[in-house]
Amino acid sequence: MESIMPDMQPMNQTVQETPQFRVLTEDQIEQIYFAALDVLERVGSRVHEDEALELFRNSNEAVVSDDKRVRVPASLVERALKSYPRKITLQGRNGKRSVALQKDHVYFGTGSDLPFTYDRKTGERRRTTYKDVTDAARIVDALPNFDFFMSHGIVSDVPNPQTYDRHQFMAMLEGCTKPMVVTSVDGEGLEDLWKMACLFQGGEEEFRLSPMFVAYIEPISPLTNDRSAVEKLLFAAEKGIPAMYTPCPSSGATAPATIAGMLVQSLAETLLAAVMCYLKKPGMPLIMGGVTTVMDMRTTTYSYGAPEMSLASAANTDISKWLNLLMFSTGGCSDSKWLDEQAAIESTLSLLTAFLSGANLVHDVGYIDSGVNASLESLVMNDEIIGMVRQVGKGIRTDEEGLALKVINEAGPGGEFVTRDHTYEHWRDWFLPRFMDRSDWETWNSEGCKTMSDRVNEETQRILDTYEPQPIDDATRKGLKEIIDAAEKRHSQ
Amino acid sequence: MAVDLGKMADLLIAGKVEDVSNMTQEAIDEGMNPKEILENGLIAGMDVVGQRFKACEMFIPEVLRSAKAMSSGMDKLRPLLSESDSRAAGSFVIGTVKGDLHDIGKNLVAMMFEGAGFKVVNLGIDLDTQVFVDAVKEHKPDLLGMSALLTTTMPRMGEVINALKEAGIRDQVKIMVGGAPVTEDFAQEIGADIYGANAASSVDKGREAVGK
Ligand code: B12
């Protein structure tokens, strides 16, 4: 096609594929990093697990005091940091390698373990069940903008609290084929979940190449590591299971009240884990994390909707990229008790910020009531928000086709664009709303004056009524049951 | 010139720990009645703090700072007050149950009770049932608080209550429970006396329960 622009090869151009967003400069990141190293050298972090303490002692570099405080020199931290992979590709139980974790690639998913659910029939708040988790799994499997699944709810109708994680994973697998992030009770629990995943993947080696899940593990802010968390982390290191060690500090309560201070402390927590895993087995796929937020000083709530959470999380992502670590972040969640205007506002702000920051796994999408209540409708609503957010991320093309001089020329003054080829080819680049209503008042009125929540509700019900995920074959199902039964048996004494 | 107790209350509201301590000492040195200092200075100030917190005009860090000012004054007054006048608002033992490592919510409850003049023993986290039983025997508190943030650890609170029954000391204490997955219904089910949804409302309920 003949160019109609006089000069299409200008010099000294900078274009950007996508919007650019960052909170911290490299100098600021270094300040935070050096401060975190200082915390590890002077304050240290407490570790309540014997094998890990032994690893630190045997390093002949870390210093372990009688009160189980571990202090680590910068040289060891920096060596450890060099050992982590910059890319992990996750696959679903259907074998699709659908989540390629690498710098600035962003994926969205749910959170886990919500104790309560509003019953869709009675509207009453009740405890979350196995079926609720399977329903959430089906919804996430069906929704186009969700990339990975965490359990959303906790299965509270199972025989033994010590083995709930196996049942929960089973409930997740029943409904969802996408890659997952799993929570587990302890090291033994994680081992069972990993064995269950290996059944789908055809063994440990295949799991390592393209794992089906990432293990979710947390330190206790400030600067404390409990036994079961460390047990899980060391097991993950040994087997090459990707894991995030995600601090959950609340600024002003379990971390300093300044965001920079909270970032310093959580980075020190992350770096300690990086050293611990390195000493166990260099190179395990460790992912950096952080649900960095504020404690509301009126209610004491750990806030999932605060703008400070978005800001701190984005800054944390800047830090992760500078460290060459992958990042597990947070968005699409709310402190609101109900899926209402507040939930929509808070979800949107955190999703947009997390997306622009380039965090790799953005979790907790759909949480309401500050991580206490589950809402399937919230998942559906957030799917739409993610679609909008991704659209903003597409950026603007300023090449010849984008500048559209040809079609402007064709249409001329007073012309139209609806019938032009250029429009026919490009309007599909736009975001196509599914639940956002852009109709005229008459149509809206005649179709029953539906609100956003009506539309979201209908879609939720439609998915629940009609969606069937790819089933689990009988042989695998049998293997899964054996692992769960064996766990029940071990814990029945 | 006589010490201005209204000003002392204002300083307490403003969280001026050292000033409140100094002013209490001045008032004592001037020979003012200790009970009057307590009631018209310190307690008068804390009452306003309580009201302002409810009206969302003061926030947790400020309330805790005022409480610290209050106790700095109390430290000076205590030796001079009669036993009954200096008695704590009540005594409170609190801890997080076995298998549960959530700490900060329980600590905030402890701090707010302390701020309200309770004598508080904070046992820690991840506690065996027996630790609660022993603590009730040892401290004979008016109130026992238990915290659980996990669906999986909640039932431990019921176990503690049963163990207290077995030890024959269940009726010596009022039992309060709280934490994210805990509900009013659950509290009743396991035979607790009070459910506390958050630190501030728990203090109100606790005060009421011990009748002060
Ligand atoms: C921060 C946090 C953590 C931190 C705790 C750090 C610390 N120093 O305490 C860490 C990272 C360690 C953590 C760990 C885990 N957590 Co957690 N955690 C939270 C989170 C996000 C906030 C809790 C918090 O600090 N709130 C702020 C404080 C001030 O409020 P609070 O604790 O609710 O306390 C107030 C009231 O509840 C009440 N109260 C509390 N106790 C008491 C006691 C009495 C007597 C009274 C009267 C009142 C009262 O008053 C308090 C002050 O107002 C909650 C979500 C939530 N919204 O609750 C999840 C949450 C509680 N955690 C959860 C889970 C699953 C876990 C883990 C199991 C995750 C895992 N698989 O590893 C581990 C468990 C570790 C263990 N064995 O305990 C789930 C529980 C789900 C369930 N149904 O059981 C929650 C609900 C989040 C979720 N949906 O996943 N967690």
Whether residue A173 sits in one domain with residue A202: yes
The CATH number of the domain where A387 resides is what?
3.20.20.480
Q: Please check whether residue A340 lies inside any domain of the structure.
A: yes
Using 50, 70 and 90 to split pLDDT, how confident is the model at A2?
Answer: low
Whether residue A389 sits in one domain with residue A288: yes
Is B199 a pocket residue for ligand 1 (Cβ < 6 Å)? Answer: yes
Q: Are A127 and A142 in contact (CB under 8 A)?
A: no
pLDDT of residue A6: 63
Percent of chain B surpassing pLDDT 90? 92
Testing ligand 1's pocket by substitution, the residue of A218, A227, A254, A335 carrying the most ligand atoms inside 8 A of its CB is A218
What would the two tokens of residue A214 be?
A: 């990432």
Whether residue A196 sits in one domain with residue A178: yes
Q: 3-state secondary structure string, A425-457? A: HHHHHCCCCCCCCCCCHHHHHHCCCCCHHHHHH
- Res. A7: pLDDT tops 70: no
Tell me the per-residue pLDDT of B43-96, one tens digit each, with 9 for 90 and over: 999 999 999 999 999 999 999 999 999 999 999 999 998 888 878 889 999 999
pLDDT of residue B1: 58
Number of Cβ within a 10 Å radius of residue A42: 8
Across the A/B interface, how many CB contacts are shorter than 8 Å?
A: 41
Tell me the per-residue pLDDT of A74-116, one tens digit each, with 9 for 90 and over: 999 999 999 999 999 999 999 999 999 999 999 999 999 999 9
Number of Cβ within a 10 Å radius of residue A156: 23
- Res. B212: pLDDT tops 60: no
Residues in chain B closer than 8 A to A164 (CB atoms):
152
Class level of CATH domain B91-210: alpha beta
Whether residue A166 sits in one domain with residue A66: no
Q: Which residues contact A414 (CB under 8 A, 6 or more apart)?
A: none
From A57, A81, A105, give the residue that closes a domain.
Answer: A81
pLDDT of residue A82: 96
From A365, A393, A421, give the residue that closes a domain.
Answer: A393
Q: Please check whether residue A49 lies inside any domain of the structure.
A: yes
- Surface-to-core class of residue A45, CB atoms within 10 Å of its CB (0-12 exposed, 13-18 middle, 19+ buried): buried
Place of tokens 């001026």: B16
Q: Please check whether residue A449 lies inside any domain of the structure.
A: no
If you average pLDDT over residues A453-458, what whole number do you get?
96
If you average pLDDT over residues A293-309, what whole number do you get?
98
Q: Which residues contact A493 (CB under 8 A, 6 or more apart)?
A: none
pLDDT of residue A81: 98
What are the residue boundaries of the structural domains of chain B, listed by start? 5-86, 91-210
Rounded to whole angstroms, the Cα distance separating B70 from A315 reads 39
Whether residue A312 sits in one domain with residue A167: yes
Q: Nearest chain B residue to A224 by CA: give it.
A: B101
Indicate if the alpha-carbon torsion angle A421, A426, A431, A432 is positive or negative.
positive
Render A132-169 in DSSP notation, one character per residue.
HHHHHHHHHHH-TT--BB--SB---SSS-GGGHHHHHH
| Partner residue opposite A297 with nearest CB, options B61, B99, B155 | B61
For residue A156, give the ligand 1 atom closest to its CA.
83
pLDDT of residue B88: 82
Whether residue A325 sits in one domain with residue A230: yes
Contact B151 A161 (CB under 8 A): yes
Q: Please check whether residue A314 lies inside any domain of the structure.
A: yes
Number of Cβ within a 10 Å radius of residue B141: 22
Q: Are B81 and B132 in contact (CB under 8 A)?
A: no
We find that the CATH architecture of domain B5-86 is Orthogonal Bundle (1.10)
- Res. A185: pLDDT tops 90: yes
What would the two tokens of residue A186 be?
A: 């302890």
pLDDT of residue B41: 95
Candidates A121, A50, A12, A117; CA nearest to A276 is: A50
pLDDT of residue B208: 94
Whether residue A305 sits in one domain with residue A197: yes
- Domain holding A421, by residue range, is 400-429
Tell me the per-residue pLDDT of A246-257, one tens digit each, with 9 for 90 and over: 999 999 999 999
Candidates A367, A85, A359; CA nearest to A210 is: A85
Look at chain A and report how many structural domains it folds into: 3
Is B105 a pocket residue for ligand 1 (Cβ < 6 Å)? Answer: yes
Using 50, 70 and 90 to split pLDDT, how confident is the model at A11?
Answer: confident
Testing ligand 1's pocket by substitution, the residue of B101, B149, B193 carrying the most ligand atoms inside 8 A of its CB is B149
What would the two tokens of residue B95 be?
A: 């801890």
Is A112 a pocket residue for ligand 1 (Cβ < 6 Å)? Answer: yes
Tell me the per-residue pLDDT of A204-234, one tens digit each, with 9 for 90 and over: 999 999 999 999 999 999 999 999 999 999 9
pLDDT of residue B2: 80
pLDDT of residue A4: 64
Q: Peptide bond preceding A285: is omega within 30 degrees of 0, i.e. cis?
A: no
Global pTM reads 0.96
Residues in chain A closer than 8 A to B159 (CB atoms):
none
Whether residue A106 sits in one domain with residue A239: yes
- Res. A240: pLDDT tops 70: yes
- The ipTM value here is 0.93
Rounded to the nearest angstrom, the distance between the alpha carbon of B181 and the centre of ligand 1 is: 9
Whether residue A360 sits in one domain with residue A280: yes
Whether residue A409 sits in one domain with residue A366: no
Whether residue A105 sits in one domain with residue A166: yes
**Chain A contact probe: residue of B65, B127, B152, B156 with most A CBs at under 10 A:** B152
Rounded to whole angstroms, the Cα distance separating A177 from B21 reads 65
Tell me the per-residue pLDDT of A381-399, one tens digit each, with 9 for 90 and over: 999 999 999 999 999 999 9
Whether residue A134 sits in one domain with residue A242: yes
If you average pLDDT over residues A259-267, what whole number do you get?
98
Candidates A241, A206, A9, A217; CA nearest to A97 is: A206
Q: Are B24 and B41 in contact (CB under 8 A)?
A: yes
Q: Are A344 and A377 in contact (CB under 8 A)?
A: no
The rounded mean pLDDT for chain A is 96
Residue whose CA is at the smallest distance from ligand 1 atom 65: A113
The rounded mean pLDDT for chain B is 95
Candidates A437, A421, A351, A422; CA nearest to A393 is: A351
Render A322-338 in DSSP notation, one character per residue.
HTT-EEEEE-S--S-SS
